[in-house]
Chains A and B, each alone.
Chain A
Amino acid sequence: MYFEVHNWDLKVGNVDIKAVSSSSLFLVGDNDCMQLYSFYDTPPDSYIVGSLVPLSRVGGVETANDTNNQG
């Protein structure tokens, strides 16, 4: 395979950018090789607040494990 590029006129009107952040790149020009890596960690657990409503029945606790043991 042979790759041939012909660059003719390039005219851009208006570019409006709010932010270029975290190793991001805004390039007006020619480039050969570009590698952009991003590692992001926002675990959902960090949003969940501790106390959960218990799912067991009021009075007696009967779980799948318990019934298995009886049988």
Chain B
Amino acid sequence: MIRTTKVNFFRVNSVAFSSILEIGDATHCYPETNIIAVQKEGGVESDEGYEFDKYSLFDKQKPPLPPITNVPKKTYNHKKSLHVDAINITGVTSSGVVQLGNLKNVEAESRIKHIRILEDEQADDELNSIR
């Protein structure tokens, strides 16, 4: 018997960047997100020069999971529903998934590359005086 999710109160403020808010059952879900976050002192003018293929992080192989041991499983749902009184979510973002209902298989992946570009803290002549 499949269980039904029952929620009295559900509030989500915002859903952004390919995120999913699903009410109901699903069998598969494969969300993926690739991000290059550039923080530059003085501000970033353009996204040029920050292509995904420039960084090895985005074509790295996923580490293999331990082999699946086959254990026969049987689930008995004695009640036909599960209850949540209230859910409050401020934000769902970057391929995040919020689902009320059953979801058989999920395989999510996120790759985030952070880049910080800082201006020199000390002027060159200042540095020479230390030497």
Contact = CB atoms under 8 A, between A and B. Distances in A.
B114 interface: yes
A23 B109 CA distance: 6
Contacts, number: 205
Contacts of A22: 33, 35, 93-96, 110, 112
Contacts of A50: 120-121
A19 B32 CA distance: 17
Residue among A24, A34, A37 with the highest chain B CB neighbour number at 10 A: A24
Interface residues of B, number: 68
Contacts of B65: 35
B13 to A, nearest CB: 10
A57 B78 CA distance: 77
B74 A5 contact: yes
A68 B59 CA distance: 45
B83 to A, nearest CB: 5
Contact of B87 (A5, A6, A28, A42): A28
Interface of B: 2-3, 5, 7, 19, 25, 29, 31-33, 35, 55, 57, 60, 62, 65, 71-79, 82-118, 120-122, 127, 130-131
8 cross-chain pairs, A with B, having the tightest CB-CB distances, nearest first: A23-B108, A23-B110, A20-B96, A22-B110, A10-B82, A42-B114, A46-B116, A39-B111
28 contacts: A1-B72, A2-B74, A5-B75, A8-B78, A15-B88, A17-B87, A17-B90, A18-B91, A19-B90, A19-B93, A21-B93, A22-B95, A23-B97, A23-B109, A25-B29, A25-B99, A26-B89, A28-B101, A29-B25, A29-B101, A32-B104, A33-B104, A37-B62, A39-B111, A49-B118, A51-B120, A51-B121, A51-B122
Given A27-B106, A29-B25, A58-B131, 7 more contacts: A7-B77, A11-B83, A23-B110, A26-B92, A29-B5, A37-B107, A49-B118
